[in-house]
Structures are given as structure tokens and as C-alpha cells.
């Protein structure tokens, strides 16, 4: 038998599997360099305060929700509720624990949000889909109500708002736009890195198994309930930190109303439009949701400012934005990140078809 | 073939668009010799219907100043709008867009026009040295200008509003001593805004001995049967209605249904517009409301604006019926305060456009007495207002108006709040804020 076997070509003999050594990701390094060095040097207050910081925070919130909804398949409309927990918990820690450094307060706020998320994730053991969504809706309203009702949470301020305490890190003030931007960026980069590795790990694979079919996942021995609760906890941790950054690095103030159901929907839209089950999708989605209206506004002002009735112009922008969402979702239901991927594949062979 | 057709279509469309665009009159550009007046508006979103007449009032007044008076002492105003949708995020975006002025024309004062944006901008504006004017909303404790140098909750804070309400009730009951044993209920929107009057009312209840009943209405408040059933059981002598949006007409209708006399309900600033009572129809007849900018088109300024702006077809008002509505008038008053603050600043810095710091000096030296109000045509529409470093609120009075089914009729002159009694509360709050944020209070006595 062996004598008759045709010899394989040498290369196949040597390497039955093509192993590609991973190169140092040059593009990523460049991106980080731009984000950490170039933007703080070049960006003015408008870019940092009004565009980059909210974009980064919303990306982080999208990432948090994507871990739960995109990777584990548990739909949630309570994202903003957990953001509120993070914001109010961080505020409480900074206010009431003397001498606590900012990073520790942020982590503490995240952990408190994670604990609450796990608590509200318990029903996921028994209920699924739309019914689970209703429990997260309950969480959203419950949390919002708690932070409006009990003045202890906002330190008895007459207006029910919390405002950023001194933002300091090792004695350096982070109150300037550049400081707040770097704080946000560091948090986002660190947490994105963790998330990328998390979804590649055993935990992430278990989550995806549960998302794809939880019965099958249980059959192959994955403790489904535990991993669902873990997903709720990790997701809420991310959302909690995003909430704290939203309140202190971006707005500078927050009340229960800053984290209402509309914020939850906004974050849900970010992951739906950006791409479920994708890390990069959160950034693309957040860019679309937060930056597109600003772009349209500038474009409208530049083209028609002063000529067309201001109210009509605003409504026109809304219509255009809505239309764009519909067009993109029809064109690519898997989100913008898929659209970008397709475009990249096309460009690789352009102008040929294959 | 198809490609060709598509190309052709696109080219035609582009040509058409360009042609149309070049045919439009180009907007006037700003110059460094002009004063920039940023307008943070909300023309879309949930509160658009109340916003639109406000911007009309503001723009009409600015236009009047420019075209009839030739600007503020010759300095022309230039304005641009930015949509905030009444949110904090868009409010910040607009502020950051506008804070450096427009093509060289500087910003002297900024009006965030919305509570969430006002709170979010508090620290940022202080860092950028641009004064914020929040008329009828915003931080009450910012009255203390030594801790909040760039925040001006001018004219009427919620604390003063509560006090003016109690003083009006006392007037109706025949004196402050008659308040003892009376039952006064506050039906409030259960939000930060609604809860803001709890502290002053508690203090005033202790002082005058009336029973202070607080009844919350959950947002949005389109069902209030249980609240008004409670009102009927408790039989309060007066009801202070601190609702807003849809919850106001619902409250009036539900009160009528439960047999509570509408003429003993007194609405607050945000429950005092035409839009609040019109949906209640006949049931709204007799409803009372407190307001720092009463409705009506018979003030002197209205005649001037009618003659020079409205009748010339230059008004921003879509619906001429809104001329003189409460919201339109609030736009006039808002714009007038900003214009007068710039005028006050020009006395020190010369007749030129002012920056934020100079605008603040103007605000802190604003003194609108009756004579000046008569001159600018606002006598009766606007209360005398004197601001200083120590007092960023000034005034502290409101008028009471009554709805007759068609329009508001003023039934009082300015009802003054007892600001001395409330000031310790405000000082305590601002001291707490200063401690929390590590703010070094400035010495007002030295600066004046």
C-alpha cells in the first residue's frame, strides 16, 4: 500500500498546517499612538469634550452590553440602569471614603454595578428572550427610581444631581479636557484589551456556546446558569465604569434622569448597528450613533444655515439620520462592522471580482 | 447603458443642487466688531412645542435691537442656533461649539436653556469664564455668587418661587399670621425639579405654622386619580401645582373631576403657560399661576416689536396667535437680560463686543430699576432686577395670573419672596458645594 501512495509535494510534507507568525500589529500601534499622543496635542476643547470623550464612553458602554447580548445572547434593555449604579457608586465612594484614589473608586463602582447586575441576572436561569428583557426593563426602572427617591445617594443635593468631585490621579488634576480624555481613553483601552482576551478564552467560548444554543451547551457540560450570571456581572462592570466616566469625565454631573430608558436604547442601537458579537462593532456603532447627528448638524448649518427655517432643518436631520439607519440595516443586517469588512475584502481584489 | 444613465442622473442632480444652493441668499457672516449671541435651542424633541415660541421671542427682540436701535450702543448682535433637544449631551456640544465665539465675534453670556445642560455646563463655563444665565431653573445655591462666580439663576429661583407662593396665599388669607393651621399641599412632579421646593416649604411651614403636605406625581403624570383622591380626603386650603408638560393639564382636569376648586390651585413657573391650560378646556377656568414673565401683548415692548418686526414680516413667529404668550414673553425677558447685561458691561469696558469675563462684570452690575424698565419697554413684564457678586438672583418676585378660558389676566402686582429667610438655606448648600469641590469662595466685599 505504502509504495503506491503518491508522494505529496514537499511543502505539504513539511507543513501540513500553515502557521502564520503573528506580526506586531502595526496598525493598532499607530492607532494608539494617534489616540494617546497626537489627539491630546492637536485636539481642541471642542473635539475632546464634545466628540471624543462621549464617543469613547459610548463605545465602552456598547462593549459592556455586547458581552451580554452579542456574546451570551441575553437581551437587555437595562444598560443605562447599570451605568447609573456605576456613576452613583463611584460618586459615593469618592465622597464617603476619605483618601480613596480615583482608579480604586472607579473599580469599586464597577464592582458594585457588577454585583447588582449579577443579582438582576439571576432570573436568566429560568426565563429567556423577551421575558428576560422585561426583567432588565424592571431593573432599569427600579434603579432609576432608587436614585431619584433616596437623597442619600446624591448627598442631599437640592436638585438631585451628583457632580464630579475632584478628579485626581497621583496628585495630578484630571479636570482639564485633556486629562479627562486621557482618563477615558486609558480605561477604554484597558477594558477593551481585557474584553478581547476574555471572549477568546474558555469563558468567552462558553458564552458563545450558550448564545448559539443553551441546551446543547448544557449537554456538553457548560454550567449555563453560572456563565449567564457571570455575563451579567462582567457586562454590568463595564457598564458601571462607562456610567462613571459618562457622569464625571464627560458631563461633569449626572442625575437619575441622565440614565433613563432612552440611554439604554441608545446603547442597544449602538450594538445592533455596529455589530452584535464583535468588539470593533461597538466603536463603529458608537461613532455612527454619536457622531453622525453632529456631522449632519454641521453639514446642515454649513449648507443652509440662516436660509432655511431652523426647526425644519433640525427635523430634516432627524429624518436623514433615521433613513441612514434603515438603509444600513437593510444593506447589512449584521451591522456596520460587517459592511466595513466586506468593503475591505472587496478592496483587496479591486478592480477584479475575485 | 445603465451606468451611463445613473451617471447622467447623478450629474444632473448635483448640478441642480449646486444651482439651488448658489441661488440661496448667503447668510451674513460675523465680524470681530459684533457681539455673538449663541442660541442653544430645542426645536425638536419632547419639549419643542414650548421651545419654539421662546426662540421666536428671543430672535424678535435681538432683531429689534439690531434693526431699530442699531445694536447695543452701536455694537450689532449676530446669532446662530444650535439644537440641544433639551439634553445635556447636545447642550455640551453646542456650548463647546460656540464658546470661542463666531468668526471673531465673542460670547459675553450663555443661556443653556435646559436644566440638564445647565448643570453639566456649570463647571465647564466657570473654567472657560463664560457666565451662564438660567432664568427660572438651574442651581438655586448659585445665588451665592462668591462660590458660583459664573452661574446666574437670575430673577426667580425655585426657593423664591416657593416663598412667593406662600406670601401670595398669606395675602389671600389676610396676612402671614393667618397661615397658622392652614393646610397647604404641593402636588409635584417626582423629579429633581419637583423636589426642589421641599426644603424651603419645610422651613416656611415651621416659621408660619401651616401644615405642609407633599404629594408626588410620577413621571410623566398622565394618570393622577390617586393623587387627587388624596387631595380630596385631606381637603387642603391651597394646592401648589409643580408639574410640567402633560402632567399639568391632567392635574387640572383630575382636580375638577374630584371636585377640588381650580381657583385654589396655583401653578408654578413651568405650569403657567397657555399650552398648560388649553388642553384642560373649560375646566381650566379660574386656574392661577405664578410667573416671572406674565403673558399678554399689551406691554410697551410688544407695541414696538409689533410695529417694527411683526408688521414688517420679519418675525420668527410661525403662529401669530403666540404673540404675547407666556413662552414668547419669556424669550423677550431672557434676551433683554442678556442685552442689558452687555450694556452694563459696556459702561466699564467701552462700546465694543465683550468677552465672558466682561459679560460677568456686566451681569454683576446689572441694575434694572423701574425707570430703566420703562425706557426699554419692559415695565410690568419684568421685575426690577439688581444683581451683584453676592446675589446672583436679584428680584425674587412673581406675578399671579388667572386663566379665564381664553387668556391670562394678571390679578396681582409683583409678589415678593421673603429672600432673607431662605438665604441661610442657600448659603448652607453653597458652602457644602464649595467644600465638596474644593472651591475657594471669592471675597465679594473686596471685589465690588
> Within a 10 A sphere around the Cβ of A71, how many other Cβ atoms?
26
A-chain residue closest to B79, CA distance:
A306
A354 band by pLDDT with thresholds 50, 70 and 90: low
Dist. CA A284–CA A271, nearest whole Å: 9
Any idea what DSSP says for residue A6?
A: P
* Residue B351 distance to chain A (closest CA, Å): 27
Whether A158 has its CB under 8 Å from any CB of chain B: the answer is: yes
Residue A137, Cα to own-chain centre: how many angstroms? 19
Write the residue in A95, A166, A255 that is nearest to B192 by C-beta: A255
3-state secondary structure of B105: strand
Cβ neighbours of residue A331 closer than 8 Å, sequence gap 6 or more:
A339
Q: Which residues of B396-420 are buried (b: 16+ CB within 10 A; e: fewer)?
A: bbbbbbbbeeeebeeebebbbbbbe
Comparing CA positions, the residue from B238, B233, B172, B232 lying closest to residue B201 is B238
In this structure, what C-alpha cell is assigned to residue B176?
402671614
**B35-156+297-386 fold:** Rossmann fold (3.40.50)
CATH 3.40.50.2300 domain range(s) in chain B: 35-156+297-386, 158-291+400-418
Q: Please compute the mean of the pLDDT values over residues A252-257 and round it to a whole number.
A: 87
Tell me whether A160 touches chain B (CB under 8 Å): yes
Report chain A's mean pLDDT, rounded to a whole number. Answer: 89
Helix (H, G, I), strand (E, B) or coil at A71: helix
Which architecture characterizes domain A42-349 according to CATH? Orthogonal Bundle (1.10)
List alpha helices for B134-234, DSSP H: 158-173, 192-195, 198-208, 225-234
Is pLDDT larger for residue A317 or for residue B29? A317
Check residue A99 and give its pLDDT: 84
Distance between CA atoms of residues A272 and A66, nearest Å:
9
Domain coordinates in residue numbering, chain A: 42-349
Out of A157, A160, A307, whose CB is closest to B27? A307
Residues with Cβ within 8 Å of A302's Cβ and at least 6 positions away in sequence, in order, are none
Closest CA to B96 of B60, B70, B120: B120
- Are the C-beta atoms of B271 and B215 separated by less than 8 Å? no
Per-residue pLDDT tens listing for chain B (448 residues): 454 555 566 556 555 555 555 544 444 557 789 999 999 999 887 788 888 899 999 999 999 999 999 999 999 999 998 999 888 999 999 999 999 998 889 999 999 998 889 989 988 999 999 999 999 888 899 999 999 999 999 999 999 999 999 999 999 999 999 999 999 999 998 877 888 899 999 999 999 999 999 999 987 888 999 999 999 999 999 999 999 888 899 999 999 999 999 999 999 999 999 888 998 888 999 999 999 999 899 999 999 999 999 999 999 898 888 899 999 999 999 999 999 999 999 999 999 999 999 999 999 999 999 999 999 999 999 999 999 999 999 989 999 999 998 889 999 999 999 999 999 999 999 998 888 888 888 888 776 5
Strand (E) or helix (H) holding A247: none
A to B CB pairs, distance under 8 Å: 105
Phi and psi, residue A125, nearest 5°: -70, -30
Which residue(s) pair with B213 in the sheet? B185
Contacts 24+ apart (CB under 8 A), A350-353: none
- Record: contact B122-A163, CB cut-off 8 A: yes
Q: Nearest to residue B269, comparing CAs of B167, B176, B400, B151?
A: B400
| Residue A25 confidence (pLDDT) | 81
* Residue carrying the nine cell digits 412632579: B189
Q: What is the pLDDT of residue A313?
A: 85
Pick the CATH number of B158-291+400-418 from 3.40.50.2300, 3.40.50.300, 3.50.50.60, 3.40.50.10800: 3.40.50.2300
* H or E element that contains A299: helix A292-304
A23 or A41, which is more confident: A41
Query: Is A294 touching B (CB cutoff 8 A)?
Result: yes
Average pLDDT over residues A303-330: 85
Give the closest-approach CA distance of A336 to chain B in angstroms.
24
Say yes or no: A31 contacts chain B, CB-CB below 8 A: no
Q: In this predicted model, what pLDDT tens digit does every residue of A61-80 receive, in sequence order?
A: 999 999 999 999 999 999 99
DSSP state for residue B114 in the 8-state scheme: S
Q: Which residue of A has its CA nearest to B24?
A: A307
Residue B25: the pLDDT is 45
Length of chain B: 448
Q: How far is B259 from chain A (nearest CA, A)?
A: 30
User: What is the pLDDT at residue A13?
Assistant: 53
B47 by DSSP, 3-state: which? coil
User: Cβ A252–B24 below 8 Å, yes or no?
Assistant: no
Amino acid at each position: 500500500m505504502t509504495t503506491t501512495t503518491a508522494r505529496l509535494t514537499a511543502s505539504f510534507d513539511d507543513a501540513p498546517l500553515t502557521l502564520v507568525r503573528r506580526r506586531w500589529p502595526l496598525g493598532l500601534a499607530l492607532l494608539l499612538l494617534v489616540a494617546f499622543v497626537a489627539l491630546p496635542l492637536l485636539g481642541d476643547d471642542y473635539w475632546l469634550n464634545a466628540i471624543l470623550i462621549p464617543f469613547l464612553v459610548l463605545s465602552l458602554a456598547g462593549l459592556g452590553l455586547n458581552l451580554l447580548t452579542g456574546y451570551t445572547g441575553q437581551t437587555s434593555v437595562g444598560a443605562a440602569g447599570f451605568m447609573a449604579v456605576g456613576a452613583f457608586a463611584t460618586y459615593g465612594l469618592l465622597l464617603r471614603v476619605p483618601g480613596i484614589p480615583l482608579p480604586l473608586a472607579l473599580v469599586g463602582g464597577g464592582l458594585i454595578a457588577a454585583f447588582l447586575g449579577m443579582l438582576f441576572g439571576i432570573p436568566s436561569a429560568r426565563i429567556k428572550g423577551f421575558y428576560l428583557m422585561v426583567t432588565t426593563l424592571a431593573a432599569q426602572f427600579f434603579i432609576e427610581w432608587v436614585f431619584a427617591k433616596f437623597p442619600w445617594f446624591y448627598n442631599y443635593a437640592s436638585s438631585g444631581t451628583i457632580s464630579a468631585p475632584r478628579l485626581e490621579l497621583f496628585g495630578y488634576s484630571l479636570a482639564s479636557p485633556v486629562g479627562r480624555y486621557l482618563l477615558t481613553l486609558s480605561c477604554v483601552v484597558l477594558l477593551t484589551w481585557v474584553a478581547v482576551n476574555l471572549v477568546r478564552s474558555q469563558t468567552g467560548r462558553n458564552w458563545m456556546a450558550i448564545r448559539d444554543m443553551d441546551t446543547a451547551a448544557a449537554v456538553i457540560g457548560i454550567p449555563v446558569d453560572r456563565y449567564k450570571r457571570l455575563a451579567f456581572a462582567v457586562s454590568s462592570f463595564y457598564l458601571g465604569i462607562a456610567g462613571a466616566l459618562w457622569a464625571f469625565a464627560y458631563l461633569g454631573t449626572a442625575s437619575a434622569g441622565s440614565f433613563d430608558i432612552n440611554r439604554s436604547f441608545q446603547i442597544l442601537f449602538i450594538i445592533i448597528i455596529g455589530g452584535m458579537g464583535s468588539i470593533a462593532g461597538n466603536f463603529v456603532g458608537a461613532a455612527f450613533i454619536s457622531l453622525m447627528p453632529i456631522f449632519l448638524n454641521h453639514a446642515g448649518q454649513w449648507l443652509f444655515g440662516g436660509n432655511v427655517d431652523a426647526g425644519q432643518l433640525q427635523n430634516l436631520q432627524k429624518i436623514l439620520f433615521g433613513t441612514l439607519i434603515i438603509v444600513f440595516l437593510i444593506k447589512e443586517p449584521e451591522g456596520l462592522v460587517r459592511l466595513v469588512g466586506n468593503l475591505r475584502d472587496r478592496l483587496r481584489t479591486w478592480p477584479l471580482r475575485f | 447603458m445603465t451606468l451611463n444613465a445613473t451617471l447622467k442622473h447623478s450629474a444632473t442632480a448635483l448640478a441642480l443642487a449646486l444651482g439651488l444652493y448658489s441661488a440661496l441668499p448667503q447668510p451674513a457672516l460675523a465680524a470681530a466688531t459684533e457681539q455673538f449671541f449663541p442660541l442653544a435651542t430645542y426645536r425638536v424633541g419632547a419639549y419643542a412645542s414650548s421651545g419654539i415660541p421662546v426662540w421666536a421671542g428671543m430672535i424678535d427682540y435681538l432683531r429689534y435691537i439690531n434693526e431699530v436701535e442699531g445694536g447695543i450702543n452701536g455694537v450689532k448682535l449676530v446669532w446662530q442656533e444650535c439644537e440641544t433637544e433639551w439634553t445635556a449631551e447636545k447642550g455640551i456640544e453646542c456650548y463647546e461649539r460656540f464658546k470661542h465665539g463666531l468668526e471673531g465675534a465673542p460670547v459675553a453670556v450663555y443661556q443653556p436653556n435646559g436644566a440638564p445642560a445647565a448643570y453639566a455646563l456649570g463647571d465647564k463655563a466657570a473654567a472657560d469664564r463664560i457666565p451662564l444665565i438660567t432664568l427660572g431653573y438651574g442651581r438655586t445655591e448659585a445665588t451665592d455668587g462668591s462660590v458660583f462666580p459664573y452661574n446666574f439663576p437670575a430673577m426667580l429661583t425655585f426657593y423664591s418661587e416657593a416663598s412667593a407662593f406662600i406670601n401670595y396665599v398669606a395675602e389671600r388669607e389676610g396676612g402671614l399670621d393667618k397661615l397658622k393651621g392652614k393646610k397647604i399641599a404641593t402636588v409635584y412632579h417626582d423629579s429633581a425639579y419637583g423636589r426642589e421646593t421641599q426644603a424651603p416649604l419645610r422651613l416656611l411651614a415651621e416659621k408660619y405654622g401651616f401644615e405642609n403636605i407633599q404629594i408626588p406625581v410620577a413621571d410623566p403624570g398622565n394618570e393622577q386619580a390617586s393623587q387627587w383622591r388624596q387631595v380630596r380626603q385631606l381637603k387642603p386650603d391651597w394646592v401648589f401645582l409643580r408639574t410640567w408638560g402633560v402632567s399639568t393639564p391632567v392635574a387640572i382636569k383630575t382636580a375638577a373631576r374630584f371636585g377640588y376648586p381650580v381657583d385654589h390651585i396655583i401653578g408654578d413657573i413651568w405650569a403657567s403657560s397657555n399650552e398648560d391650560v388649553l388642553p384642560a378646556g373649560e375646566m381650566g377656568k379660574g386656574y392661577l399661576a405664578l410667573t416671572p414673565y406674565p403673558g399678554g401683548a399689551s406691554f410697551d415692548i410688544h407695541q414696538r416689536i409689533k410695529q417694527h418686526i411683526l408688521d414688517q414680516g420679519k418675525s420668527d413667529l410661525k403662529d401669530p396667535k403666540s404673540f404675547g404668550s407666556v413662552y414668547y414673553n419669556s424669550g423677550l425677558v431672557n434676551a433683554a437680560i442678556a442685552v442689558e447685561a452687555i450694556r452694563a458691561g459696556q459702561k466699564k469696558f467701552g462700546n465694543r463686543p465683550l468677552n465672558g469675563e466682561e459679560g460677568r462684570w456686566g451681569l454683576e452690575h446689572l441694575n434694572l430699576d423701574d425707570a430703566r424698565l420703562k425706557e426699554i419697554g419692559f415695565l410690568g413684564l419684568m421685575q426690577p432686577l439688581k444683581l451683584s457678586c453676592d446675589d446672583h438672583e436679584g428680584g425674587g418676585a412673581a406675578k399671579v395670573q388667572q386663566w379665564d378660558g381664553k387668556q391670562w389676566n394678571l390679578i396681582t402686582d409683583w409678589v415678593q419672596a421673603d429672600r432673607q429667610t431662605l438665604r441661610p438655606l442657600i448659603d448652607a448648600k453653597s458652602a457644602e458645594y464649595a467644600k465638596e469641590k474644593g472651591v475657594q469662595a471669592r471675597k465679594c466685599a473686596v471685589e465690588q
